[in-house]
Structure 1
């Protein structure tokens, strides 16, 4: 039976539409961020991987994605793909009943769709310059169905396995960042290293523009996850900025001490690490805890990237170190610092006697990481049996823009 009718709250509805728009803006922001980090000859290829998710994920979400995430549960793992198939039965009067915020169900459909769009796009930074477009298109489809949709259901659907167990993930530390980060690690190990390694970004201002758009959009990502306007919305908004800022400065200082120079890209990368790490905890912790989480993100994610480099893993744009590790750290620290004083609907963490809750957070984030890693590796193996996953030598040398798409980002003088 579809959700019943209740009065529309105009303020909450307007706010959630604004937040959905902010989260949508994060995908073009990610395209700019990644586009600036790669070589000139591969700009369009990496940006197109974000924009194709913007379009194709919407099609899948409309057809069966929302239903798989929030339809009637199958053993707490996945929703019935036919229940909301092609959004049938949803009218102007159909209301979202997950809380009493008074928003139409179409608003919830739109807001959650924006999360589904950006999550697989995050992974593309790991295997940049190496994967064919056909293989990525198949990967995008399979990854949403086999990884993202199940974890949305398990964590965010009221009937989901982890939700019923008491696991918390305010805005996607498990569902978005940890799954994407460990999928990135699997893809790097499967695809292998680039034929020509370069660590020099071609356009730093483009990276800064992308970071600004991501940071701006993240307010919709985190504050909007309350699905209404209240004091928790405001605290999660401020927690987002506090964690990002403390992480950015922490990363800058560590890199400054090691490299003897303050690096702009380090400052930008640190801010993204802070944003990813505060995401699961933003609406469940205090403002001072957000600062601690930000500092932890700056330190741990910095050294995770350093470890990746030492091991010779070619995660080109540090997706695992920033998003995978950030999501893991944020989820675990939520298990430590969560406080019902800051969200009565949350939980008390380890420091307040919530040992069982801490264990649940650790189990959930480990399961999500392993699931994402295994399914990603398996999908790439299967896709490679259908079409080559890795680009040929000509594309690697001349650039994916011209070899795969017949276009260039810049016309040489």
Structure 2
């Protein structure tokens, strides 16, 4: 792994420029390319036609543009309908998701996998620039998006308009700034790739003598000898493997963490949800203090669900991020304790414990066995099973201390039978 790439990753200066080879046009997804699909539709055997020329021929037919866009949409929908195919099409994107230090992605691809798998904000048109934020992950879609049909660049006419737009517009200006100042890795392109050829020609014309050194990750052994631009380093490997190796380098330097945590938390979340359902069947009017356990479990579940929901942002892989969040929630919990708000205190105790488990479980699997799945603020023993919890719940109910009285005030306002008490995530 080149030192410049590692340094750029560490400093948040690494940019990926991605082509079709990392997505739906990878041969591991479908045995036939979109180019081949259109070729057969037109009954053309000439393989020397460029992609844009072939698309232009198709679009010049009656209703050709409409039919082409429909075929593009159908291809994505077909891949989506088979999870096996979609997993193959998105393995690069899922590997990228954890790499929080990669905030800027540029792509010629029309799919929405960077948005869905990496939580990247799409910048497709100048109007989208209101959402551009260098501190958040963004994907600059210079050839449009399937979510904005009118933006798709496919034909010769489209390519001409796209080049003119890049030369004069804000997207082109941003592109030039990124490439002049950042370390850029091109991935998913091959020799003969029209997108790559046009991009390189455009950049050399625009940046001239300030054109930076670039890195090209490719499985095309001939790209190095055929490309006229020599200020480059070739890394002969698969794009997903390249990202995985980059992640391993960052792990070794302790610049990324929690990379094995997601499946652990998904499993524990399933366990506590099952237990939560069981606890929710306890009669709150007979055992008012059960609301503390319900609130506590809501807190744990919300911590887990937020982690799962936002994992693809990469933000949970930032070293120290969990400790920082835990300190903030500990302060909130303490305020609830000081104000004798025992209901909210139970919730934030659960949320805090959830964060602690997320931060610790990858390094210490035993913590899962010791994790408190149930809670009572006045328990006198370790609640290591449902039976132990219920016995302790019965004891504190008969004792009728301040926690019991506080819970009873809440429960007495709930007149409907069989109501379940729930604490929302705020």
TM-score range, shorter chain: under 0.3
The structure number with the bigger radius of gyration is: 2
TM-score norm. by structure 2 comes to: 0.25
Whose RCO is larger (CA < 8 A, sep 6+)? Answer: 1
Name the structure where helix makes up a greater proportion of residues: 1
